[in-house]
């Protein structure tokens, strides 16, 4: 292949890859130069290298400073060097290339060959009353790298021989070396492009596998919380057990205090809104696109479910305690809920709005992902803070460990059966007591970044 033409058609990431692998090019080229025995290495700068031809060009060139010294000026006939800088062709207003600028901020694989020869015309400079005649050098640079340089890159040897007007005649060994360098660059680029393509394919396979594994984890989450796969989380399916039990025993509650009826309605609404928020968080998991966010949202969902179960259990027990005339237990639970301001709180309504706003942003194609992630994290911390305050108070309720609670638990089980509830009091309580609260990781990638 013609590596210069191919290079121009490559995508930028492949060009960057070739640049990163410049030492692969350099190692092979240096080996060719040293094996030719035509050059010796001279010190470079900033990691570059230069090979200077053993054959020199001599001229009677005189500098202005030591013009009176008639010493000959000697230059290497050929220099091969690594510029390691991207050269940008510069064009005039008519579209003709005038020169090439170096871009020192953007290094790029490049090899340049400089040749020097004498120009036989005489330049006369007048210094005071003395006329100085000088024989000067001319030189030509040729880029063996990956971009076009001044002049024709197709036939370097002929180009230089024509420009020097016979002053430069390359030996067969030199011609062979230049040809081998060109061939080496061509073969190396072909090999590296193939390696890059294989790595890209491997990376795409890795991404696909990772995405498939991630999707399977999401599917496992959906199966765990929605076993019938109807889109609604299982824990909130069915009738409102608290409201049904409350309505069944409304008379007993009214006899105790009519004001409790209103507060129980508020409690029912609170539990209903909490179920809505649990469903919303569950639904939002479908939009999660990385494992760290998935882990966080599943953890928050589990915490929400745990808090809901705890509130529901104690709320149901509060109703039964009225029926069983266990007013001590009733007031313990009622005062705890009142302390949490559940009868007068708009917290769940506000939380619902926040979750809705974040979900709307997730659905927007043009959403700023960083802002959405920060917003999601903020909502999670808000949820976590409220859940902890509720659970701290719920955990202070000691009636479940006191003597006689088994009678209250048995009564609750019978009452739940009487309203055809799918809940089982003992299962609900044992699940609450065994749960380990999930803690949000503040450094979660994709959320904190």
pLDDT tens-digit map of 340-370 = 888 876 666 666 666 666 555 544 434 444 4
pLDDT exceeds 50 at position 116: yes
pLDDT exceeds 50 at position 302: yes
Contacting residues for 324 by C-beta, under 8 A, at least 6 apart: 407, 408, 411
What per-residue confidence (pLDDT) applies to 225?
A: 93
How large is the average pLDDT for residues 282-296? Answer: 84
Residue 183 has a CB neighbour count (10 Å cut-off) of 12
pLDDT exceeds 60 at position 211: yes
pLDDT exceeds 80 at position 329: yes
What per-residue confidence (pLDDT) applies to 370?
A: 47
What per-residue confidence (pLDDT) applies to 448?
A: 39
What per-residue confidence (pLDDT) applies to 264?
A: 92
Rounded to whole angstroms, what are the CA distances from 395 to 61, 388, 391, 401?
A: 98, 10, 6, 11
Which residue shows structure tokens 């072909």?
A: 190
How large is the average pLDDT for residues 393-410? Answer: 82
Residue 126, SS3 per DSSP: strand
pLDDT exceeds 90 at position 226: yes
Burial (Cβ within 10 Å: 0-12, 13-18, ≥19) of residue 434: exposed
Identify the weakest region by mean pLDDT among 7-21, 115-129, 224-238. 115-129
Identify the weakest region by mean pLDDT among 43-47, 175-179, 281-285, 407-411. 43-47
What per-residue confidence (pLDDT) applies to 139?
A: 63
Identify the weakest region by mean pLDDT among 143-157, 168-182, 268-282, 332-346. 143-157
Specify the higher pLDDT residue, 326 or 151: 326
How large is the average pLDDT for residues 205-210? Answer: 94
CA dihedral 99→105→109→111, nearest 10 degrees, is 40
**Do residues 225 and 234 make contact, with C-beta atoms less than 8 angstroms apart?**
yes
Q: What is the DSSP string of 351-374?
A: HHHHHHHHHHHHH-TT--HHHHHH
Q: What is the DSSP string of 330-358?
A: HHHHHHHHHHTTTTT--HHHHHHHHHHHH
**pLDDT interval class at 119 (50, 70, 90):** low
Closest CA to 141 of 122, 127, 159: 159
Distance CA 250, CA 245 (A): 8
On average, the pLDDT of the chain sits at 78
How large is the average pLDDT for residues 78-82? Answer: 85
pLDDT in tens, 61-71: 444 444 455 56
Across 190-194, 295-299, 342-346, the highest mean pLDDT is recorded for 190-194
């Amino acid at each position: 292949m013609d590596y210069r033409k191919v290079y121009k058609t490559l995508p930028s990431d492949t060009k960057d890859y070739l640049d990163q692998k410049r030492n692969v090019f350099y190692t092979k080229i240096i080996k060719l130069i040293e094996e030719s025995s035509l050059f010796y290495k001279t010190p470079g700068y900033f990691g570059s290298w230069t090979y200077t031809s053993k054959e020199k060009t001599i001229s009677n060139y005189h500098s202005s400073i030591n013009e009176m010294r008639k010493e000959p000026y000697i230059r290497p006939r050929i220099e091969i060097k690594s510029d390691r800088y991207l050269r940008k062709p510069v064009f005039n207003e008519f579209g003709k290339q005038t020169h090439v600028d170096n871009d020192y901020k953007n290094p790029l694989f490049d090899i340049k060959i400089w040749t020097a020869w004498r120009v036989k015309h005489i330049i006369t400079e007048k210094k005071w009353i003395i006329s100085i005649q000088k024989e000067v050098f001319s030189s030509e640079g040729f880029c063996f790298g990956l971009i076009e340089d001044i002049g024709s890159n197709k036939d370097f040897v002929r180009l230089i021989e024509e420009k020097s007007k016979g002053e430069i005649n390359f030996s067969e060994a030199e011609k062979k070396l230049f040809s081998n360098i060109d061939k080496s660059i061509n073969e190396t680029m072909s090999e590296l492009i193939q390696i890059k393509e294989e790595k890209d394919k491997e990376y795409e396979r890795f991404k696909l596998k990772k995405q498939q594994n991630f999707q399977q984890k999401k599917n496992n989450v959906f199966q765990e919380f929605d076993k019938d796969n109807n889109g609604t989380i299982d824990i909130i399916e069915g009738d409102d057990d608290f409201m049904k039990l409350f309505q069944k025993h409304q008379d007993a509650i009214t006899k105790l205090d009519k004001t409790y009826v209103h507060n129980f309605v508020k409690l029912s609404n609170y539990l209903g809104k909490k179920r809505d928020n649990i469903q919303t968080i569950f639904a939002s998991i479908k939009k999660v696109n990385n494992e760290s966010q998935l882990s966080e949202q599943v953890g928050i969902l589990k915490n929400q479910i745990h808090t809901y179960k705890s509130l529901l259990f104690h709320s149901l027990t509060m109703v039964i305690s009225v029926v069983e005339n266990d007013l001590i237990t009733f007031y313990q639970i009622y005062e705890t809920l009142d302390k949490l301001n559940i009868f007068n709180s708009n917290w769940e309504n506000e939380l619902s709005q926040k979750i809705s706003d974040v979900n709307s942003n997730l659905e927007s194609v043009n959403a700023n992902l960083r802002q959405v992630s920060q917003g999601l994290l903020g909502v999670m911390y808000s949820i976590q803070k409220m859940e902890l305050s509720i659970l701290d108070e719920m955990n202070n309720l000691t009636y479940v460990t006191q003597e006689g609670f088994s009678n209250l638990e048995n009564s609750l089980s019978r009452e739940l059966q009487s309203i055809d509830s799918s809940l089982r009091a003992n299962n609900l309580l044992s699940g609450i007591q065994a749960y380990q609260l999930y803690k949000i990781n503040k450094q979660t990638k994709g959320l904190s970044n």
